[in-house]
């Protein structure tokens, strides 16, 4: 990474501000919350994939000494999750582990005992084991409004796909499958709920969006938004798994309201796999056409998403995947059909990348195969086709900055792509994956606002208030760097305050990779507001105009007058300790001026090198070369960390992770049985940071929160195909799937 002498904070690697507390175990998480009189809550769950609730008798549980509250469907009337799930269904249950009742007791043993004392009579109903069963004629309907068990459908053309296919030189069709996964954040689901007054509910919980949690709980309990206070001390990861409230948040609150005491519900290891709701199974069909020169002209995609027993916000995955058909290549036409299908599986939502990483596992392989069909080097294919700065997609997305081709070129050169492709070794393979990712996306509300507030103390140290949660992505440190750059002080001089909706400035949340871009812009604006107040003092004391001042390295200097200088802290001190007595406080916000979508997109390319063990079918990722256009690297080391984390998770999903389902049951519901690689299985990674300096980003920055993972799985899959001579079309690329192909293709082993 080139150092930028013109910046004193941005672009200089800064260890996470919360790093020491995290590694020494001093950081507090929700499970550390202990309140006077707090009860332990536990949940009774349905053991069947589909059943009718005939009768529930809680009298023996209620009589157990130490039990303070038991709630069933009648306590939860009117509370709905998402589109069609009652919090506690009074009649039909649609998945294994669905919540049936909950208890709060003085201790965990009593709560567990109370669950055993609740007697429930179920009538098993015929189940929908998978999407095939759900779509079969005459299949039982899970929800009256979901005709044919289709919970949501989007089908649209852009351009004239039929004409484009007719004109195409070559057309190819492929089918792919990705299987359900768990988000695998480090911290299990947990919530402490406290109805301190009948109109004030406080909930401590990890979250990616305190605002969405607040609005959801407020709606459920019919309170104004301000009647719900979300407290997020720290979040042990998110990966899209904490964007929405889950039943345990409501159940803890119901139990608190009924008992008049705070209630904590903490998921056990196996419950975690029922509650996670990451990506479900997806079946993809792609058909695309290219012209004689290898230009991609038209894409037709048909996708089926298993949404399980209920639907919440999974339609977003349809929105995102449909927009990806023309995101990377300037195609003439697209056709898209996406359907959410109800089954009696868990109501899965989506995983890190909003479903796009899985989508690109499929689409990236499809495009790779298209290039090979034409005898083209996939890198050349991408370079020929990739979008560039100034391009506007069929759907109207405009790229004000775009380093995609630079990423492709640099990663290919750095990885030695051409040479390695030439001197092909048996059972070794190399593959490329490319991607784009929005930096924030308006659509949930009319606004996509982030706000920030900063106060500067008379020791020159500042507190920066943001509503953006940091669930491990180090965004708080990035925010401190942005504020520090504006004020010309060190990021370590800034304390980032966040995690309390009563206090935080508004922020839509940490999803759609909006943090660095949206909240970063808000932080920049708030810091500029504060700087103006300090500049007034400094300018008066130095006898110059505020516009002549430069804030840098803890000093306020005057442009072209090197003798005039004043420490930042002194200027702040003098602003307060003065006749005016001004305390420096800055406020700012940012909202995308677009009606919908995003102002900025990041781009990336990754090249994976793998080797395959012919005896076991095990794939080893030897190296990943990753080039990412992040606009501007606010904190280069963390940008690399984000890339590393996503490569690790992408590799994990590509090769290992799968919630193995049977009859609606997760068969491997533990961190022992659900396979993930260990730290030492991390491949060597070479990072190439491309800075296209987006005109709208804070100091030019764009997202790096989900962009990298979108490239990883396809790169690995293409490398495996390169190694074994045939694509693996179902994820994960488990050893048994590799062995199946190797058994067929003795030529490569």
Question: Contact residues for a second copy (CB under 8 A)?
Answer: 20-21, 26, 28, 32, 34-36, 196-197, 224-226, 445-449, 451, 453, 455, 457-461, 463, 465, 493, 495, 497, 502-503, 505-506, 576-583, 585-587, 589-593
Two tokens, residue 212? 């969405």
Q: Which burial class, exposed, middle or buried, applies to 710 when counting CB atoms under 10 A from its CB (0-12, 13-18, 19+)?
A: buried
Of 228 and 415, CB closest to a second copy: 228
What's the closest the beta carbon of residue 470 comes to a second copy, in angstroms? Answer: 16
Query: Residue 379: what are its φ and ψ, rounded to 5°?
Result: -65, -40
Strand partners, 71: 102
Strand 428-438, strand 333-342: pairing: unpaired
Task: Output the CA angle 471-713-689, nearest 5 degrees.
Answer: 65
Of 60 and 447, CB closest to a second copy: 447
Of 283 and 493, CB closest to a second copy: 493
Of 372 and 576, CB closest to a second copy: 576
What's the closest the beta carbon of residue 522 comes to a second copy, in angstroms? Answer: 9
Of 59 and 196, CB closest to a second copy: 196
Quick check: helix, strand or coil at residue 2? coil
Of 233 and 618, CB closest to a second copy: 233
Quick check: helix, strand or coil at residue 747? coil
Quick check: helix, strand or coil at residue 156? strand
Of 495 and 668, CB closest to a second copy: 495
Decide if 706 is catalytic: yes
CA distances from 169 to 69, 374, 385 (A): 69, 10, 15
Classify each residue of 725-741 as buried b or exposed e, where b means 16 or more C-beta atoms within 10 Å of its C-beta: bbbbbbbbbbbebbbeb
Non-local CB neighbours of 418 within 8 Å, separated by 6+ positions: 377, 379, 412
> N- to C-terminal Cα distance for the chain?
40
What's the closest the beta carbon of residue 80 comes to a second copy, in angstroms? Answer: 20
What's the closest the beta carbon of residue 583 comes to a second copy, in angstroms? Answer: 4
Classify each residue of 273-300 as buried b or exposed e, where b means 16 or more C-beta atoms within 10 Å of its C-beta: bbbbbbbbbbbbbbbbbbbeebbbbbbb
Residue 678: Cβ within 10 Å count:
6
Classify each residue of 209-248 as buried b or exposed e, where b means 16 or more C-beta atoms within 10 Å of its C-beta: bbbbbbbbbbebbebeeebbbbbbbbbbbbbbbbbbbbbb
What's the closest the beta carbon of residue 35 comes to a second copy, in angstroms? Answer: 8
Quick check: helix, strand or coil at residue 189? coil
Given 187, 706, 726, 730, which residue is catalytic?
706
What's the closest the beta carbon of residue 238 comes to a second copy, in angstroms? Answer: 23
What's the closest the beta carbon of residue 637 comes to a second copy, in angstroms? Answer: 20
Of 260 and 390, CB closest to a second copy: 260
What's the closest the beta carbon of residue 350 comes to a second copy, in angstroms? Answer: 26
| Rounded CA separation 593/598 (Å) | 9
Instruction: Kindly state the helix (H) or strand (E) to which residue 355 belongs, with its residue range.
Output: none
Enzyme catalytic residues: 706
């Amino acid at each position: 990474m080139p150092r930028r002498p013109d910046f004193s904070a941005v672009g200089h690697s800064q260890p996470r501000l919360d790093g020491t507390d995290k590694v020494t175990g001093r950081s507090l998480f929700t499970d550390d919350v202990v309140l006077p009189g707090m009860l332990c809550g536990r949940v009774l769950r349905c053991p069947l994939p589909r059943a009718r609730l005939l009768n529930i008798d809680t009298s023996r549980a209620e009589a157990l000494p130490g039990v303070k509250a038991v709630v069933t469907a009648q306590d939860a009337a009117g509370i709905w999750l998402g589109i069609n799930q009652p919090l506690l269904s009074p009649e039909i249950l649609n998945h294994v582990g669905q919540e049936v009742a909950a208890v709060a007791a003085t201790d965990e043993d009593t709560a567990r005992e109370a669950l055993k004392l609740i007697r429930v009579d179920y009538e098993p109903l015929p189940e929908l084991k998978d999407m095939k069963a759900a779509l079969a004629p005459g299949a039982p309907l899970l929800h009256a409004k979901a005709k044919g068990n289709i919970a949501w459908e989007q089908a649209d053309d852009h351009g004239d796909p039929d004409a484009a296919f007719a004109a195409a030189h070559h057309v190819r069709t492929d089918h792919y499958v990705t299987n359900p996964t768990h988000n695998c954040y480090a911290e299990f689901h947990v919530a402490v709920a406290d109805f301190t007054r009948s109109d004030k509910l406080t909930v401590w919980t990890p979250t990616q969006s305190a605002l969405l949690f607040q609005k959801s709980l407020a709606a459920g309990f019919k309170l104004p938004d301000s009647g719900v206070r979300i407290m997020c001390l720290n979040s042990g990861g998110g990966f899209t798994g904490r964007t929405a409230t889950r039943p345990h948040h409501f159940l803890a609150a119901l139990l608190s309201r009924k008992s008049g005491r705070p209630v904590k519900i903490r998921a056990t290891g196996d419950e975690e796999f029922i509650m996670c709701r990451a990506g479900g199974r997806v079946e993809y069909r792609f058909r695309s056409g290219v012209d004689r020169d290898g230009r991609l002209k038209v894409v037709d995609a048909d996708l089926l998403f298993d949404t399980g027993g209920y639907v919440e916000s999974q339609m977003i995955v349809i929105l995102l995947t449909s927009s990806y058909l023309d995101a990377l290549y300037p195609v003439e036409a697209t056709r898209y059909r996406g359907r959410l299908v109800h089954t009696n599986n868990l109501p899965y939502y989506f995983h890190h990348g909003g479903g796009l990483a899985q989508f690109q596992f499929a689409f990236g392989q499809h495009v790779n195969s298209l290039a090979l069909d034409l005898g083209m080097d996939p890198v050349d294919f991408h370079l020929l086709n990739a979008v560039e700065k100034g391009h506007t997609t069929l759907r109207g997305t405009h790229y004000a900055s775009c380093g995609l081709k630079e990423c492709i070129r640099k990663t290919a050169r750095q990885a030695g792509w051409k040479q390695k492709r030439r001197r092909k070794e048996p059972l070794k393979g190399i593959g490329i994956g490319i991607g784009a990712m929005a930096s924030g996306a308006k659509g949930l509300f009319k606004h996509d606002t982030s706000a920030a507030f900063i106060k500067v103390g008379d020791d020159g140290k500042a507190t920066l208030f943001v509503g953006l949660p940091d669930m491990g992505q180090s965004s708080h440190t990035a925010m401190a760097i942005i504020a520090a750059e504006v004020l010309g002080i060190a990021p370590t001089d800034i304390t980032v305050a966040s995690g309390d909706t009563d206090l935080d400035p508004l922020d839509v949340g940490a999803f759609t990779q909006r943090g660095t871009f949206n909240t970063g812009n808000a932080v920049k604006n708030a810091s500029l507001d504060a700087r103006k107040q300090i500049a007034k003092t400094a300018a008066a004391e130095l006898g110059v105009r505020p516009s002549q001042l430069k804030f840098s390295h803890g000093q306020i200097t005057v442009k072209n007058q090197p003798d005039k200088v004043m420490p930042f802290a002194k200027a702040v001190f003098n602003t307060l300790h003065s006749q005016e007595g001004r305390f420096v406080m800055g406020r700012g916000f940012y909202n995308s001026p677009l009606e919908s979508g995003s102002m900025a997109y990041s781009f990336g390319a990754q090249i994976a090198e793998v080797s395959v063990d012919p005896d076991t079918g095990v794939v080893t990722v030897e190296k990943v070369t990753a080039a990412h256009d992040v606009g501007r690297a606010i904190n280069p080391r963390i940008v690399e960390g984000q890339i590393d984390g996503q490569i690790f998770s992408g590799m994990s999903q590509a090769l290992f992770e799968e919630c193995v389902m049977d009859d609606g049951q997760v068969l491997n519901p533990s961190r022992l049985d659900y396979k993930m690689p260990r730290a030492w299985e991390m491949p060597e990674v070479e990072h190439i940071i491309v800075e296209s300096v987006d005109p709208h980003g804070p100091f030019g920055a764009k997202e790096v929160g989900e962009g990298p993972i979108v490239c990883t799985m396809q790169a690995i899959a293409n490398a495996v195909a390169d190694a074994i001579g045939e694509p693996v079309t179902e994820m994960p690329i488990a050893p048994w799937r590799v062995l199946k192909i190797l058994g067929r293709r003795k030529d490569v082993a």
